[in-house]
Amino acid sequence: MPSSTSASPPTTAQAPQAGTLTLENVIYEKKGGIAYVTLNRPKVLNALNTPTWKDLRTAFEDARDDAAIRGVILTGAGDKAFIAGADISELAQVSAVEAEESSRLGQGVLELVENLGKPVIAAVNGYALGGGCETAMACTIRIAADTARFGQPEVKLGLLPGGGGTQRLPRLVGKGRALQLILSGGMISAQEAYRIGLVNEVVAASDLIARAEAILGEISANAPISVRLSLEAVNKGMDAGEGAGFALEASYFGICAATEDKAEGTSAFLQKRQPQFKGR
């Protein structure tokens, strides 16, 4: 169960602790059942280059494989940016072959984030542009600081969203609003992002991490298998179409019904006590 009440994530390189991986461009810490993943290239507004994508992959694989971790908070170092997109100096130099490799790497990382089997909260603390907005959209839930700004500026660089933006954005906000953002390349405020459904909540910047921790705390009190299969049913169902989605839901409902946690959850309700879930 998460117990941390820290108001801000780690934002500077620190001596490794037990349960902490040392990475080049990402700070990775585990506390109270939560993995904190902090993009740490504040001088370039946490832009994503190839080593950073690799660090993200390492961090999220660890969070996925560590049974003690019940959820992840992803944020950016500094007070200006979550992620200001792909690193443009790298994009400017990339060959076609390298671009294809980097595309596979980035797509794989975002797929990992989206289907981690545990909730991932994007704590968007500033600019979330291009690949930054796309990374936030791969997360389970997005909480924005009131100072955050969102956009898909790729068309201004002669590109188009290459990290899933043409697919995830219309699913979240509808086709018309997605096309306006993608084709204009313009930026919107946190409040506007909330109004169109791009983010779940907007909070004061100083409350961002505490609010993300509180949401993870609420989710972590529930049966782990139910949480994992709910996430999977929604993600797979969105791609499968309604008929296949309903069939998947029914089969996952059956799996949940066979768990010890379902026996515990229903008994606890009837006995008017709090359930003790074991993830079995």
Q: Which residues are catalytic?
A: 134, 154
Distance CA 227, CA 223 (A): 6
**Quick one: the chain helix, strand, coil %, rounded to 5?**
50, 15, 35
**Binding of ligand DAK by 78 (CB under 6 A):** no
Cα–Cα distances in angstroms (integers) from residue 120 to residues 142, 179, 256, 271, in the given order: 9, 26, 22, 33
Q: Which stretch binds ligand DAK (CB under 6 A): 54-62, 69-77, 87-95, 255-263?
A: 87-95
Among 63, 77, 84, 209, binds ligand DAK (CB under 6 A): 84
CB of 110 to ligand DAK, least distance (A): 7
Q: Cβ closer to ligand DAK: 53 or 252?
A: 53
Can you tell me whether residue 72 is helix, strand or coil? strand
Are 198 and 173 in contact by the 8 Å Cβ rule? The answer is yes
What span, in angstroms and rounded, lies between the C-alpha atoms of 280 and 270? 20
Is 95 or 271 the residue whose CB approaches ligand DAK more closely?
A: 95
Q: Which is nearer to ligand DAK, 20 or 102 (CB)?
A: 102
CB 119 within 8 A of CB 166: no
Distance in Å, CB of 161 to ligand DAK, minimum: 7
The region of 3-11, 112-120, 130-138, 221-229 touching ligand DAK under the rule CB under 6 A is: 130-138
Q: How many residues of this chain interact with ligand DAK, rule: CB under 6 A?
A: 24
How far is it, in rounded angstroms, from Cα 15 to Cα 22?
Answer: 9
Q: Which x/- pattern over 136-175 shows residues binding ligand DAK (rule: CB under 6 A)?
A: -----------------xx--x-x--xx------------
- The total number of residues written for the chain in this structure: 280
Binding-site ranges for ligand DAK (CB under 6 A): 44-45, 47, 84-89, 102-103, 106-107, 127, 129-131, 134, 153-154, 157, 159, 162-163
